[in-house]
Structure 1
C-alpha cells in the first residue's frame, strides 16, 4: 500500500477536522478513490493518533468517526474468505448477532408505531408496553456482543499492530451503552406524557447503534480478516463462550480443517530445570555428635543429617519449595481470581479458579500479553492510569474497590503493588472475590465441621 494514498486519506480527514463541510469532503473522496480497503482505514487512524506533528487528537478521531465511516459506506472492498460462512466461525456468529439485533430494532419500531395511537387506559396498552420492555431487554444483549469484540477481537488487532481502531471503537461502544441506558430509564417510567422523550432518546441511540453495525461489518471484520491467521480465529471461537452471545447462540464451535491437532493452548517453551548438585559418594555429609548427660552417665548420640535435595523441576522459595505443577494447582485453587500485570504494564497471568464464563472478571488467553491500557475502556483509562502510577511510584501500596452485581454477588477487588526485597516495583497483583457469602454468615462463630450431605 502506497504511503501517498494513506496521506491523501489523512488530508481529507484533516479538512474535516478544520471545518470543511462533509459534502465537499465526500466529493473529494469520490474523486480520488474508487474503493478503499479496511486496512487503509486502520492505518489512517493509526497515523491520526500517532503523529506528534498532527493536531488531530484521539477525541477528534472519535468525533469524526461517524463522518468518515459514512464516507467509506459502499466503497469498502470485501475480503474473500470462504471459511467465514461456516457455522460457528466468529465472523459468521458476529454477523448473525447483528442480524438478530437489527430484527429486534424493527420489532421495537413496530411497537412504538402502534403505541402512537394508544392511550395508557386502552385495554391493550399493558400488553403492548410489556412487549416493548421485553424487546428492549433483548436488545440490551448487544452489550455481550460488544464485550466479546473488545476482549477477543481487539487483542488480536493490537497484536497485529492495529492499536488505534480498537481504542476509537471501544470509546464509541461506551457512548452507545450510555445512550441505551438513558433511553432505558425513560422507558421504565413510560407514559403518554414522556413518549416523545423516549422516541427522541431511542432515535439517537438507534442511529449510533446502526452506525456501529456498519463499522463492525465493513471496517472491523475486514481488518481482522486481513490480519488474523486461522489459528487466531480458532482461538476466538474456542474462547467466545466465556463471554456469551447476543440473542442467538451458534449451533457448533468452529474448528478449522487446517489445524490437524485438537485446539489446545500451546505450552510456553521453558528451559529444563537444572539438576541439583549431588555430593559425590565419598564425600559424606558432616556428622553431628552430641553428648547428653544423664543420671546414668554420658550418652553420646551421633548422626549424619539427611541431605535436603529438592526434586528436579522444583522452584525454591525462602519458605520452602514447590514443583511447577504444585504452583499452578495452588494458584488455581485459591478462592479468588488472581491477575498479574508486569512492571511493563503487560497482562501477564491469570489463574483458572473456575471456567471463564463463571468468573467475576472474565479472562481468556487472548488477553495475555496485552498492554493493560487496551484492557480497559478509554473513558476509564485516566483513573486506571493514575492508580498504576500511584502503585508504581509508591504513593499507594494497595487500593480496594467494591460493588454489588445484579446477580446478587458482591464483588471486592484489591490492587496491590508487587515489590522485591529491595523495594523495586515488579508489577500489580489484582484479586477479585465474591464476598456476599461472608456478608450472609448466620452466626458470629463456627468452629465445628460442616455436615457432609
Structure 2
C-alpha cells in the first residue's frame, strides 16, 4: 500500500467516525473542534469514497442524507478552498456547468418574489403568478438531473468502482423534483399555505445549491481525472436526446440508429425477419420495453415515438438496480429474485403520472425447460384504454 493510499484510508475512517457521531446526535460545532486536524487535511474526492462506504452500511436514506448534509457542512470550508476545476470551454462538463449557472440565476430571481409573498400584504395573484412562472423555469432543470441519471451515471459506474454515492445524489434529485412541483401547486391552488410554501422553497434553495456545489467541487473534478476526455465528449449525443435545460452545446452530435451487427433473416420459429424489421416492429408497439438478462444487465430497450420513461444507450450493460431511484431499488431486486427462484412469473403496478395512468409490468423470460434468462419490463399509458365502453368492431372502422 502506498503512503498516499494509506493516508486516504485513514482520513476515510476518521470521517466515518465523525459520521457515526453525527447519527448519534453529537453537535456539529463540537465535532469540528475535536476533529479539526482531520477535516483540514481532507480532499474533495474523500467525500466520494466516504459516501460509497456509508451506502454499503444500509443506513435508511433519510438518515443517510441528513447525516451527509451535516458532515459536508463540516467539510465545506476545506473543500471550498481546494483549487477550483475549470473544464475546457465547449467540453461536456463545461456545458453541464453552464447549465448550472443558468439554474442558479433563475433561483436567485425567485428570491424577491418569495420575500414579497412573505410580506402577507403582497400575496397578490400577480406576485404568486410570477413566482410560479419562475418555478416552472426551474422545473425545466429536471432534464439536467435526468441527463446525469441516464447518461453520466452509467459512465461513472464503468470507471469508478466506488460509485454508490450516485444513489444518494439521485435521491436528492427526486427531492428537488417533488418540491418544485409541490411549490407550483401551492401557488396555483385555491388554498395557499404560507408555512408549507416557505418549507418547500427553503428546501429547494438548500438542495439545489448543495447539489451544484457537490458536482462542481467534488464529482466533476474527479470525473475529469478518471474518465478519458473522448468518452466524456461522446456523452453529448445521448444527452441531447433528453435535452439540456438551458444552455445548448454547439456542434453536430448526431448518431446512427440503424440496426448493427446482424445481416440476413433471423428465424424466430413463427416467421423470419431481418434485424431492421425487428427494430421497426418493436419500436412501433405502443409500449416501452426493456430487457434485462439473467445476470441483471440491461441488454435492450425499445424506442417508440412516445417514450414513457427515459432511456439512452448508456444503460446498456448497466446493473438493473442502478437504473432506478434508490427508494425503489429494493423492490426491483425483490421482483428479480422471485423470478429467478421460480416463485413468480409476472408483477404488475399502476401509477398516475403527469395526468396519465401508467401500467408497468414485469415478465420473467424462461427457456422451454424453465431456465431463467432474464426479465422484460413493459410500460404502457392506459388512460384511454380505461375509458373504453361497449364495442368497436373491425367493420365499424371509420376510413
Q: Secondary structure at the match of 2:121?
A: coil
Q: Choose the corresponding residue for 1:17, options 16, 20, 34.
A: 20
What CA distance in whole angstroms lies between the structure 1 residues aligned with 2:326 and 2:58? 17
- Is 1:5 aligned with 2:8? yes
Q: Does the residue aligned with 1:18 lie in a helix, a strand or coil?
A: helix
Q: Does 1:31 align with 2:37?
A: yes
Distance 1:37 1:24 in 2: 21
- Summarize the alignment of residues 24-423 of structure 1 with structure 2, pairs less than 5 Å apart: 24-27=30-33, 30-32=36-38, 36-50=42-56, 57=59, 59=61, 61-76=64-79, 77-78=82-83, 82-83=87-88, 85-86=89-90, 89-117=91-119, 119=121, 125-160=124-159, 161-189=161-189, 194-246=193-245, 248-253=246-251, 313-354=264-305, 358-406=306-354, 410-423=357-370
How far did residue 80 of structure 1 move? 5.4
Distance 1:61 1:335 in 2: 39
Alpha-carbon distance in structure 1 between the residues aligned to 2:257 and 2:386: 38
**What's the offset of the Cα at 1:254?**
7.1
User: Cα distance 1:264–1:229, how it changes in 2: closer, same or farther (>3 A)?
Assistant: farther
SS at match of 1:352: coil
What is the deviation of 1:130? 1.3
The DSSP-based 3-state class of the residue aligned with 1:73 is helix
Q: Deviation of residue 61 (structure 1)?
A: 4.0
Indicate conservation of the 8 Å contact 1:14/1:56, yes or no: no
Going from structure 1 to structure 2, the CA distance change for 1:9 and 1:27 (only over 3 Å counts) comes to farther
Task: State the secondary structure of the residue aligned to 1:218.
Answer: helix
The 3 A distance-change label for structure 1 pair 189 and 23 is same
- C-alpha offsets along residues 20-77 of structure 1, whole Å, 9 cap, x if unaligned? 4323443566524656444332223223344xxxx67364543321123223334344
Range with bigger deviation, 2-11 or 411-420: 2-11
Name which one, 1 or 2, has greater alpha-carbon Rg. 1
**CA distance, structure 2, for counterparts of residue 71 and residue 265 of structure 1:** 48
Between the aligned partners of 1:137 and 1:221, the Cα distance in structure 2 is: 27
Q: How far off its partner does 1:239 sit?
A: 0.9
Runs of 4+ off more than 6 Å: 265-268, 440-443
Shift of 1:156: 1.1
Q: Is the CA contact 1:238–1:253 (under 8 Å) kept in the aligned structure 2?
A: no
C-alpha change, 1:74 and 1:18, in structure 2 (3 Å) is closer
- Kindly state the Cα deviation for residue 149 of structure 1 after the two structures are TM-superposed: 1.3
- Residues 314 and 324, structure 1, Cα contact 8 Å, conserved in 2: yes
Q: For 1:284-336, what per-residue CA distance to the aligned partner results, in whole angstroms no more than 9, with x for missing partners?
A: xxxxxxxxxxxxxxxxxxxxxxxxxxxx8443343343334443343334343
Gaps of 5+ in 1: 256-261, 273-311
Residues of 2 paired with 1:266 and 1:11: CA distance?
52
Change (3 A) 1:11 1:61: farther
Match of residue 306 from structure 1: none
Aligned Cα RMSD in Å? 3.3
TM-aligned CA distance change 1:409 to 1:115, over 3 Å: closer
Structure 2: distance between partners of 1:328 and 1:263:
16
Aligned partners of 2:11 and 2:42 also within 8 Å: no
**In the TM superposition, what whole-angstrom CA distance separates every residue of 1:158-207 from its partner, at most 9, and x where no partner exists?**
1112321111211222233344444444333477x843442243223322
Q: Normalized per residue, which structure has more helix?
A: 2
Unaligned runs of 5+ in 2: none
Q: CA deviation at 1:134?
A: 0.9
